[in-house]
Amino acid sequence: MMRISMSLPKKLLHEFDEVLKDRGYQSRSKGIRDALKDYIVRYQWMNEMEGERVGIVAVIYDHHYTDVMEDLTDIQHDYRKYINAVMHVHMSEKYCLEVIVVKGDVKYIRSFTEKIMRLKGVEHVRLTSTAVGENIELEAD
């Protein structure tokens, strides 16, 4: 075992501890290990997909955050070939939800999703997609 120390926003740690409590975890370290494994599996799973897919990217962001709306729009313009529709919902005073319908080679859908994930002010991104073709299997990353 290696020992690490890390800095986290208080709110994030509090929310994480709440989830651990709900799920009956006795140890925060065990919770963090499981969360890391989950993150790795999700990333690997996303990287293993190939071919043509259709899906939705759901993004929740704080629209007060400097440049986030502009950055999000720039990325969507760059990937406009792979975007079929966009729906914007003003969720609360602070947060917006954007649902982006994407279709195309998964390598572009993946890089599009990852660019959005890296934006400051974006709180949540989820890609749900299915293969285009005979066999429908719906998977959420």
Residues binding Ni ion (CB under 5 A) = 90, 96
Q: Which is nearer to Ni ion, 28 or 64 (CB)?
A: 64
19: buried, middle or exposed (CB in 10 Å: 19+, 13-18, 0-12)?
exposed
CB of 60 to Ni ion, least distance (A): 10
CB of 86 to Ni ion, least distance (A): 12
Residue of minimal Cβ distance to Ni ion:
96
Q: Which is nearer to Ni ion, 41 or 99 (CB)?
A: 99
Q: To the nearest 5 percent, what fractions of the chain are helix, strand and coil?
A: 45, 30, 30
CB of 136 to Ni ion, least distance (A): 32
